[in-house]
Amino acid sequence: MGLNAILATAGQSLELFSAGIEVAGQNVANANTPGYVRETLNVAPSLPYENNGLLIGTGARGTGVRQQIDLFLESQIHRASADLSASRARQAIYSDLETQLNELSDLDLSTALNDFLAALQDVANQPESVPLRQLAIQEGASLARDIRTLSDRVNDLRSSQSRKVELLVQEANDLIDQIRDLNSQIVRLESSGLNRSDAGALRTQRYQALNRLSEILAIRATEREGGNVDVFVGNTYLILGGSVQRLEVVWETDRDMGVANVRLDQTKVNPATGGGELYGVIEGRDTVLGGFLDQLNAYAANLIFEFNRIHASGQGVRPFSSLTSEARVADTTARLNQAGLTFTPSHGSFELKIINESSGVTETAVINVDLDGLGGDDTTLEDLRDQINAASGGRITATITSDRRLKLDAATGYQFAFANDTSGVLAALGLNVFFSGSDARNVSVSDSVAADHELFATGQGGGPADNRNVLQLAQFTDNPINSLSGMTLDQYYEAMVANVAQASASESALADGFDGFRESLLSQREQFSGVSLDEEAILILKLQQAYQAAARVVRTVDELFDVLVTM
């Protein structure tokens, strides 16, 4: 073949070196494109031919343009991104919760409690002072309002996380659809049989979509022969060949409010597990915020019950002529500790003081509350009614209302009060109580006390100057509470706040660790798949020199042809 073969080889080389410069130029143009993967021109020797017993090479040929990507490294980055995103989501929730606690300001809950206790102490010093009694009631109302406000704000945070779940689900579905469409385009381009190259731009878009999806969900991506990528989450698929599962929002009830959860539309599996922003948001909403709300409700419930236990055994400036319990039972024939009351009474008794208005004589009737579980005769609401009626001799009439509340009415010329309740049944039923409600959502000062300061039970039957009961009320936070693991209310709240601060700091450190690990992986990725302008410049120079050499071969062959023509 001679000169023609040399010319063909040189021409092929010119095309090859031009393609190489074109690929390098593509890399340079995308050096600052986020997520771009460096491309290289793969080259292999062309098949030789036989000439006079010699095998002569025919130059080189391009075998394809391939992206420089380490799929194992990409999978590690996906895992690290999922861990980091989940941790950052939880960290943001902790930060929002700390802001709501206001522990470094004068608006925090502990300040409101201290103000209430100080007001109670002022009443203990001057129990006959009407302004001080009213101020103490107002401080109690402020404390209750602050607890409700904190509860509402935590629930607002939970609602905002549910809205975030909806947005993340929509974004994840858009990414799933995008990856599915890119799969189809890539397979179509790369499986034509005429092209041995990667569909670089489309693959880069797919890598970017996978990277973002890995921040939302803990995915695992596997590329199959032909260019298709299957995407899994946990043990189920999001994309498998031509099959696709999308995410759907499911509204469920948690802690008395609607929350957005997520599942796959076909297998109904929860995909938000093991990592990813969606997992972090849901876990933060349910575990961090929900857990704190559980603690706040426990704090409020024990505040209500323990304060009311003391208050119910005291007496205000004037006794009662009529009183209806604030709480109702679910079943009037059920034992009181199993009757559906928010607060559970125990075995004990209380004193019913029957006061003759004209003579001032007070008689005491002991009302037993049998809740020892023995003998099958535990006290029900109907038993309590009958016992009061029997003990009072008609001077106090106890009835059960149509909505299953206990109502006490004094006969004309009589009044009544309570003392020495060891069972907690008065507080459980809401008789002679200061606080109403069951937890942080609805705690408030009882309407009757808020409307009439004379019902504020500061004494124990010794007249307006009696401060014995309010002294106990002012110190009620010092009492250990079994349901709070033996802690006092003060200790429990301090532990709540400290736990949030400690967990927030730990989550921040964890997120920093995940961030550092991910950055190291991204650095490795940049070294392997990123564009180095220095390296590309050197490559372009080499290709330029090779192109010039190939062009020189063409000129030489041309000169040789001229020699042949002139012979």
Six-digit token pair at 348?
């004990």
Pairing of strands 219-223, 60-67: unpaired
Q: What is the DSSP letter of 484?
A: G
Contacts of 230 (CB under 8 A, 6+ apart): 221, 222, 223, 224, 237, 239, 240, 241
361 half-sphere exposure, CB direction, 13 A CA radius = 2
Report in angstroms the alpha-carbon separations of 380 from 366, 401, 466.
16, 15, 34
Strand partners, 139: none
Q: What is the DSSP letter of 350?
A: E
Strand partners, 62: 43
- Enumerate long-range contacts of 199-202, CB under 8 Å, 24 or more apart: 199/227, 200/26, 200/37, 200/39, 200/65, 200/67
Residue type, 319: P
Q: Which of 368, 120, 353, 166 is nearest to 258 (CA)?
A: 166
For every one of its 567 residues, what pLDDT tens digit does the chain have, with 9 covering 90 and above? 577 777 778 778 888 888 888 888 888 998 998 889 898 888 888 887 777 777 777 778 888 888 898 999 999 999 999 999 999 999 999 999 999 987 556 668 888 999 999 999 999 999 999 999 999 999 999 999 999 999 999 999 999 999 999 999 999 999 999 999 999 999 988 876 555 778 888 999 999 999 999 999 999 999 988 889 999 999 999 999 889 999 999 999 999 999 999 999 999 999 999 999 999 999 999 999 999 999 999 999 999 999 999 999 999 999 999 999 999 999 999 999 999 999 999 999 999 999 999 998 999 999 999 999 898 889 999 999 999 999 999 999 999 999 999 999 999 999 999 999 999 999 999 999 999 999 999 999 999 999 999 999 999 987 888 999 999 999 999 999 999 999 999 999 999 999 999 999 999 999 999 999 999 999 999 999 889 898 889 988 998 898 888 788 888 877 787 777 786
CA distance 385 to 401: 11
Q: Are 453 and 130 in contact (CB under 8 A)?
A: yes
Q: Are 426 and 311 in contact (CB under 8 A)?
A: no
Pairing of strands 257-264, 247-254: antiparallel
Furthest C-alpha separation in the chain:
153
